[in-house]
Structures are given as structure tokens and as C-alpha cells.
Amino acid sequence: MKNQALYQQIVTPLFQGVKANREPWLFVLKAMLSLYLATGLAMLLELPSPMTSMLTVVVVMNSQSGMVMAKSFYRILGTVIGTVASVTLVAMFPQQPQFLITAIALWSGLCAAGALMFKGFRGYTFVLGGYTVAMITLPVLGNPHAIFDVAIHRFFEVVLGLGVTTLVFDGLFPRQLRGQVKKQVEANISNLLAEVHHTLSQGQHSRQALAIYRDTTSDAMNFEDLLANAKFEGPWLSSLSRPLRLSNYYYLETITHLQTLQKLKQRLANNASSSLLVINRSSQPLVDILRRVDLS
């Protein structure tokens, strides 16, 4: 009886709590498994800095497998660029530390400029390529002959962490971006209908109109990043990527035209122009259709 009461008081609420918060606990499980696997493999391979593999796991882990694969791809790309640049700079100035530090500063500035030109993980590639050079070259200023070993070890430590994280998060109960893409498309359609209805029925450039415009623009920009990351999950998006991008472009263009129409109707209303009545009379059938769609 005591064991049964203890089970009901402790074990049952624990299982209910885990079941109610399945996604957070699953993320914790995959994160801890990735950390232990990456660190253990780095020690087994006798890499000089297993901490780098562990930190790489922490940097790229995400609850959605598409985000993990996207960030891993661009992180590998940035690491390769930084590693090659490190070996090249040290080979150019092996006995001139002043020139080498100047070259590192110039390289970092170029990478910072590249990071400003691109957004999302593409910009992250330039950031990583910039500070990877400093992390590899500065420790070997007094011993340039060790640059190749340091660069190779850094590269494999990062790749090990990225590979383990990608395999765990994409292989163990993956959470893909497909559902989020579908929800965002439905939200864009709903926002577009709301914007059209508000513009044609009211037409005032009010705070509500500005809020709708701000939300729709933000959703469209986020949708571009979402598509860029979702393509790493598999071929399911390859045939839909171009149509979705085109629809997002026309979506933003339509929202901009609606904002222009709102400002025009506001100016006509302020001037008491009869043209406003013509516009309202012409758009009334569409307003009635949208009202019925909203009610359904």
C-alpha cells in the first residue's frame, strides 16, 4: 500500500508532467545526447580541444531539424573559409607578426562587411570566417610551423560537433519546418484578405492599418528565412520553393499597393472629392464577398 501510494504521489505526476511537456523534454534529451557524444568522440580521437566540439553543439542545436542542418552547413562553410585563410596568411607572413596582425585585421574587416551585406545564416558564414582566422593564427604567432596542425584540429573539432548534432536532431524524432511553412502560407493569405477588406471598406490610414502593414511585412520577411532553412530538410520543398518565393514577392507588392490606395483615399476624403464615392461604389461588390468569406 505504501509503495502504491508513493507511486501515485511521485511517479504518476512525473509521467504526466513529462507527457504534457513532451517537446521541451525531447529537446533536452537530444541536446544532452549530442553533447556527450561529441565530447566522448573528441576524447576518443584524442583531439586537443574537445571543448570546441561541445561548444559547437551548443551553438547549432535547435528544436527544428531544418534549422540545425542550415546552421551546420553555413558553419562548416565559414570554418573552411577561415581555415584556408589562416594557413594562407601565415604562409605569406611567417616571420613578420606585425604584418600578419595587420592582415588579420583587414580580413576581419572584409568579413564584417560581408556579414552586413547578407542576412541570416549567410551573414553568419562571414562572421565565422572572420573570427576563425584570429582563433587559429594568434596562438601560433611565435611558432608558425604549427599552423597546419592547429588549423586541421580546429576544423575536425567543429565538423565533429556539427555532424553529431545533425545526426541526433534529424535522426531522433525530428521536428521539421514543413508544418510551420504551411501555417505561414495560411497566415499570409489571412493577412492579405484582412488588409484588402480594411482598405476597401474603411480606407483610413489609421493605426490599425499601420499595425496590419507592419505585421504582414514582418511575416513576409520571416517567410523568406523560413524557406531558406527548410530546403535543407529534403526534396519535399524543392518543387515548391520557387512558387512560394514568387507568391511571397507578389504578396509584398500587393500590400504596398494597398497602402498606396489607403493614402489616396485619405487625401480624397480630406479634399471632399467625388472620386472617393466612385472608388467606394466600384469596390463594394468585392467588400461584400470578403465579408461573406470572413463570416464563413
**What are the E-state strand segments in the chain?**
none
Q: How many domains does the chain have?
A: 2
Same domain? 291 vs 200: yes
Structural domain boundaries, residue 198: 179-295
Evaluate whether residue 6 is within a structural domain.
Answer: no
Q: b vs e for 188-201, b when ≥16 Cβ sit within 10 Å of the residue's Cβ?
A: beebbebbbbbbbb
**Which of 127, 143, 171 lies at the terminal end of a domain, its last residue?**
171
pLDDT in tens, the chain (296 residues): 556 665 566 656 666 665 666 778 888 889 999 999 999 999 999 899 899 999 999 999 888 887 888 889 999 999 999 999 999 999 999 888 889 999 999 999 999 999 988 877 888 899 999 989 999 998 888 888 889 999 999 999 999 999 999 999 888 777 777 777 778 777 777 777 777 777 777 655 555 666 666 777 777 777 777 777 777 776 666 667 777 778 878 887 877 777 777 777 777 776 766 676 666 676 667 666 666 665 44
Do residues 160 and 231 share a domain?
Answer: no
Instruction: Examine the domain organization and report whether 165 and 185 are in the same domain.
Output: no
- Contact between 296 and 234 under an 8 Å Cβ cutoff? The reply is no
Q: What is the pTM of this model?
A: 0.73
Last residue of a domain, one of 171, 202, 219: 171
